[in-house]
Amino acid sequence: MSIRQIADGWALETKSTAYVFGLNSGGMLIHRYWGARLPGENDYPPAPSSAIWLSFNGPGQLAREEYPAWGGQSFVEPCLKATFSTGVRDVVLNFESATIGENRDGVQELRLRLSDKHYPLVVDLFYRAHEEYDLIERWAVVTNLGTEPILLERAWSCLWHLPLDNRYRLSHVSGRCLNEMQLHRESLAPGKKVIESRRLTTSHHAKPWFAVDRGNADEESGEVWFGTLAWSGNWKLVAETTDFGSTRIGIGVNDWDFAWRLDSKGGASSSLVLPACVAGWTEGGFGAASRALHDYVRGELLPHRPALHPVLYNSWEATYYDVDAPSQTKLATIAAGMGVELFVVDDGWFQGRKTDNAGLGDWRPDERKFPQGLGPLIQKVNALGMGFGLWVEPEMVNPDSDLYRAHPDWVIHFPTRARTEGRNQLILNCARLDVQEHLIATLDKLLSENNIAFIKWDMNRNVSEPGWPGAPGDPRELWVRYVQGLYRIWGTLRERHPTVTWQSCAGGDARADFGILRLADQIWPSDNTLADSRLAIQEGFSQFFPANVMEAWVTDAARERLSLEFRFHVSMCGALGVGCDLNKLSAEELRQAAQLIAMYKEIRPIVQLGHQYRLRSAQQSPFSAVQYVSSDCSAGVLFAFRTHIAGYDSTVTLPALFLRGLQTDWLYEVEGFSGARSGAAWMRVGLRIELKDFQSTIRRIHRV
């Protein structure tokens, strides 16, 4: 069993890791150990007894509490902060009980109940050990068992403690729209490093993901503790190093402008279920940390697991809003000839949509563009052998729309303030039940009346004036209830239309997280489709997302500078899509594109479902390489890219590439190199590839 009770605590053991905590002599729930799995249960250190240090620091300050609440003499970051109806703002959580059992799906779970000494507040901590993936999953549920409301001002999912050390380094990603997922590594010193989103969605700017090492890990080796929060709304991550040398990562729903009123016992709002965080430890460096998350996403999270995505064509960059049946039919015919398997009509197809200032909210085909509805186009696309996909942006409304004219009160707003528009649009308040019902009914109708295989679900602005007039609880519950509402809408549609594939897009990756991956099958990483920028974005994306969820289009961006082959090679590192204006491609380019698509189909299972190795970083070097290996290690694909290397000599010798993930004693051939060599040789001796500026290559690897 992977979760078991041991002396003075509980051990969660996976294939090669262990996470241990327990009660100390003072009855506090204390973190004990997180790292390599050890042979015996006595090998895990005991929970230290609570201490005080002079009169300035109480046990709450010194102990490494598993789920600290704000109360007593504690000045570290707590997981929970609450105000009781009496005005008391001090929470005292005591251990009450522990159960190890199976949930409804037969998954083993540990549930610990903590309860306040005086008030009817309970916190249930849930744990799962994902043995195969070497990951631990945790979340918390906060409940009011009494009759008076309790106001929560912070409710995090968990706190992850690292072994005592003072050399920690935090890796995280930051960026912005069009330049997402840039990796940063920085040393942690006493104090706090905070990353967060206050934008209603996960955000382009930072992600709820961390990797902490002792300052010495690389892609291949070194201890790394890593994790990510499954939540698509405001979140906060605090990496704190206390003045007593303890480093911990607190993560959860953002407490900024947050409030949650827990109503009396049994009511619909008497409990708050917090999002799960999945985390792990490895000594295989950042590469192994990523691969553990990739496997978990494909094996556990994704609704269609494990899905191999078709090659799609998306007409956005070809026709923008000028979408109509003839233009799309023409593109579809060319796309089918190239080997495309799914044809997606993007923005512009619905009622009143000429540009971005009208139509959002009115999700029925525009009568002038599609006089007979979408049916004839879909039939044509299907007859060409392709599935049909459609773009929607359900949470949004243009003031110039029938929906807004009918329900101006449905948007997020404060009554006395301007309704600031972003891209001429406002946000429907998905926390409202009537809005949820409306969106479910509208999209259900669209999906029932048309043979739609794929939906691209977009969200193109950040929030402003986050008001909720008439909110049933505290209006600041909007931040969480919006996301819960979105999950309900999307989840209901998924249930009703189980064969549809869904893409999460938010003007790029502003809704890229493990929460949405329970609903979406793939993610759009960036609106920046410049292949050379994309190399860096894709690499950041791969820190925690596998290649099969990464939609990647070949477009016309910088076609004068970047060859079709280079652009294809970059997109072939994920779920390949094409977004070029196909009308402008020459016969020769169409032939080349068809060849590359055919090649992609051959390597697709390895790229989308294999193990990924970042051999050389595109964020750090103009010569980069990434390799994918099939899970049985019998085949692989190597991609190498050169962008611009300054200097007169365009044929500078590039550093050797050392392959990864092969079986040392098996023989392999690598395309372009004569003779079979052992896996050990390809990995230790390496190979050299010559590339000029903005050239790329793909080399297939197979076992002989």
Nearest-CB residue to ligand GLA? 347
> Which residue's CB is nearer to ligand GLA, number 144 or number 526?
526
Q: How many CA atoms lie within 13 A of 95 on its CB side?
A: 20
Question: Taking CB under 6 A as the rule, does residue 132 contact ligand GLA?
Answer: no
If one counts every other C-beta atom within 10 angstroms of the C-beta of residue 675, the result is: 8
State in angstroms the smallest separation of the CB of 506 from ligand GLA. 7
Q: What angle do CA 110, 112, 118 make, to 5 degrees?
A: 170
> Which residue's CB is nearer to ligand GLA, number 204 or number 298?
204
Q: How many CA atoms lie within 13 A of 424 on its CB side?
A: 13
CA 7 to chain CA centroid, nearest Å: 37
Pairwise CA distance, residues 235 & 251, whole Å: 7
Judged by CB under 6 A, the residue of 124, 366, 395, 458 near ligand GLA is 458
> Which residue's CB is nearer to ligand GLA, number 229 or number 582?
582
The residues, ordered by sequence, that sit 6+ positions from 304 with a Cβ below 8 Å of its Cβ are 501, 521
> Which residue's CB is nearer to ligand GLA, number 219 or number 346?
346
State in angstroms the smallest separation of the CB of 423 from ligand GLA. 8
CA 328 to chain CA centroid, nearest Å: 32
Pairwise CA distance, residues 150 & 30, whole Å: 26
Q: Which of 90, 324, 527, 581 is catalytic?
A: 527
> Which residue's CB is nearer to ligand GLA, number 223 or number 551?
551
Question: Taking CB under 6 A as the rule, does residue 507 contact ligand GLA?
Answer: yes
Count the site residues for ligand GLA by CB under 6 A: 11
Judged by CB under 6 A, the residue of 170, 486, 505, 625 near ligand GLA is 505
DSSP 170-213: EEEEEEETTEEEEEEEEE--SEEEEEEE-SSSS-SSB-SEEEEE
Q: What angle do CA 313, 554, 309 make, to 5 degrees?
A: 50
Interface segment toward ligand GLA; rule CB under 6 A; list 123-131, 133-141, 337-345, 504-512 = 504-512
Q: What angle do CA 39, 42, 48 make, to 5 degrees?
A: 130
Interface segment toward ligand GLA; rule CB under 6 A; list 194-202, 400-408, 436-444, 501-509 = 501-509
Pairwise CA distance, residues 25 & 642, whole Å: 60
Question: Taking CB under 6 A as the rule, does residue 316 contact ligand GLA?
Answer: yes
Judged by CB under 6 A, the residue of 460, 503, 696, 697 near ligand GLA is 460
Question: Taking CB under 6 A as the rule, does residue 346 contact ligand GLA?
Answer: yes
> Which residue's CB is nearer to ligand GLA, number 133 or number 370?
370
Q: Is 527 known to be catalytic?
A: yes
Q: What angle do CA 488, 456, 305 make, to 5 degrees?
A: 70
State in angstroms the smallest separation of the CB of 347 from ligand GLA. 3
Q: Which of 458, 509, 521, 556 is catalytic?
A: 458
Interface segment toward ligand GLA; rule CB under 6 A; list 240-248, 380-388, 431-439, 502-510 = 502-510
The answer to whether residues 486 and 478 touch, using CB atoms and an 8 Å cutoff, is no
Judged by CB under 6 A, the residue of 132, 196, 527, 693 near ligand GLA is 527
Angle between helix axes 433-449 and 478-496 (nearest 10 degrees) is 20
Report the site for ligand GLA in 608-667 (rule: CB under 6 A). Answer: none
Question: Taking CB under 6 A as the rule, does residue 391 contact ligand GLA?
Answer: yes
The answer to whether residues 661 and 613 touch, using CB atoms and an 8 Å cutoff, is yes
Pairwise CA distance, residues 480 & 84, whole Å: 21
Question: Taking CB under 6 A as the rule, does residue 462 contact ligand GLA?
Answer: no
Q: Is 458 known to be catalytic?
A: yes
> Which residue's CB is nearer to ligand GLA, number 425 or number 643?
425
Strand partners, 703: 668
State in angstroms the smallest separation of the CB of 321 from ligand GLA. 8
Interface segment toward ligand GLA; rule CB under 6 A; list 33-41, 77-85, 505-513, 648-656 = 505-513
Catalytic residue positions, numbered: 458, 527
The site for ligand GLA (CB under 6 A) is made up of 316, 346-347, 391, 458, 460, 505, 507-508, 524, 527
